[in-house]
Structure 1
């Protein structure tokens, strides 16, 4: 059966960030993830994880300044990008070695060839910085409707980046919501790229609400992930339509169906 983590950057936002950990535990989660934990000291986060018997499974590199949403594909920002990778790796090593999503950035204003060169070179440096750390690096395509101009927009592009660069330690964050909005054909793409997938996330499409709302048949998608041998966490990364604690009907149903642990 599959196991699920709660993304605290989008769930339990009724509460201050540090109080969301306990709320996730009360809701039955034993693992959490988040986008940008850097407003809080790593020691503080370590304590709140321990206090609530939670595993942290993923964080992002810093988003940069307004309008950047990551730095890897932005020429001229190499030093800031390297600092963001070092910062994320430091936090990851202090917090149980969660995966780190290396954010590409909004590069719509950059010539495509320049953005690609910057992105590939940045990923190569990030992989070198992560060597020996035990931290897995992820790249995540974000759909062009929600994040117009984001350099990495499709899961097929993400797989091509790994193949072209030869950075075989990189893995793809397969966010079913983003894949559905950008390309669709979820199960076929999950099968095609499964060997390169390092984390899976879920939300309803097209509105990014609860996973049991919208056009994605998650019982079938998740059964396929299970058949393929998925043993990692699956991140709940959706915007609840009401109080977060009342939004877990989808999880109860997956448990009833014998899909979720």
Structure 2
């Protein structure tokens, strides 16, 4: 086993960002990838014009790239926000407005995984109130994902970079996964296992894989330190991905790393030919 037997997709919200959004699918295809993923591309709009959605679909189709992962609206990302669904007021309302838009777009391009970032704690708001709001919104999102034949992903971030987000460990994310599945009865909420974020938290990655592989719906990687390509840090990513395979995970592995000072097209030299 090794990198050669993995299904890698490129995250077009962190790689190829030197290009306009609609040019990135073709750039990923030219670099040898048939699958891509995206954070919600319209940061300021949870409900973009249909023409914008159609243009992105055309760009994906023309490039021959399959969208395999899409975030729901998550606020300013990249930026200070870490999601919107647990933030009372306008932000959670924007998330709710986005749910069917994102799900319908996913259906139009055959995307089967929708990621819902939890959001930051808000000063002066009872965490229990935020968690109640989060579960309410996540159950709606899970049902929308199920309607289009998709899974709902819940991701653990890392505390050093996301100090206000409460989901900064694998057990914390899994707890939300279990609560959503219990409320909906659908079983389509899954864990997004990001090896970079979990390593930044100091978690035992082997233990996380062995414990939660069966509940994992998507995997993302970057090396640590630096959030660069595999080989730029010290994480044994090839060994960890092999462990995931042995634990039964056979899904996509998203490349969610920074290309560094070089063009994104030159950031894949670690991959076997």
Question: TM-score, length-normalised on structure 1?
Answer: 0.90
Matches within 5 A, 1:77-226: 77=90, 78-109=92-123, 110-165=125-180, 166=182, 167=184, 168-226=187-245
Give the SS at the match of 1:80: helix
Q: Structure 1 CA distance, aligned partners of 2:89 and 2:109?
A: 31
Q: Structure 2 CA distance, aligned partners of 1:20 and 1:97?
A: 17
The verdict on how the C-alpha distance between 1:68 and 1:210 changes in structure 2, with shifts beyond 3 A counting, is closer
Q: Structure 2 CA distance, aligned partners of 1:131 and 1:17?
A: 27
Deviation of the 1:79 alpha carbon: 3.1
Q: Structure 1 CA distance, aligned partners of 2:38 and 2:271?
A: 19
Structure 2: where are the runs of 5+ without partners?
A: 43-47
The verdict on how the C-alpha distance between 1:164 and 1:137 changes in structure 2, with shifts beyond 3 A counting, is closer
Deviation of the 1:128 alpha carbon: 2.7
Deviation of the 1:223 alpha carbon: 1.0
Give the match for residue 71 of structure 1. 84
Q: Structure 2 CA distance, aligned partners of 1:64 and 1:26?
A: 30
Deviation of the 1:243 alpha carbon: 1.6
Give the match for residue 251 of structure 1. 271
Give per-residue Cα distances to partners, 1:214-243, cap 9 Å, x unaligned: 121011101111212222110000001222
More moved, 114-123 vs 27-36: 114-123
Deviation of the 1:143 alpha carbon: 0.8
Give per-residue Cα distances to partners, 1:189-225, cap 9 Å, x unaligned: 0110111110000001121111212121011101111
Q: Structure 1 CA distance, aligned partners of 2:270 and 2:171?
A: 28
Q: Structure 2 CA distance, aligned partners of 1:37 and 1:98?
A: 17
Give the SS at the match of 1:148: coil
Q: Structure 2 CA distance, aligned partners of 1:129 and 1:79?
A: 16
Give per-residue Cα distances to partners, 1:155-190, cap 9 Å, x unaligned: 111111222341532011111100110132112101
Find the partner of 1:24 among 28, 39, 63: 28
Q: Structure 2 CA distance, aligned partners of 1:68 and 1:131?
A: 26
Find the partner of 2:17 among 13, 20, 23: 13
Q: Structure 1 CA distance, aligned partners of 2:128 and 2:153?
A: 22
Deviation of the 1:28 alpha carbon: 0.7
Contact 2:115 2:154 in 1 (8 A): yes
Q: Structure 2 CA distance, aligned partners of 1:64 and 1:218?
A: 30
More moved, 37-46 vs 142-151: 37-46
The verdict on how the C-alpha distance between 1:233 and 1:131 changes in structure 2, with shifts beyond 3 A counting, is closer
Structure 1: where are the runs of 5+ without partners?
A: 256-261
Find the partner of 2:73 among 48, 55, 62: 62
Give the SS at the match of 1:73: coil
Q: Structure 2 CA distance, aligned partners of 1:183 and 1:81?
A: 31
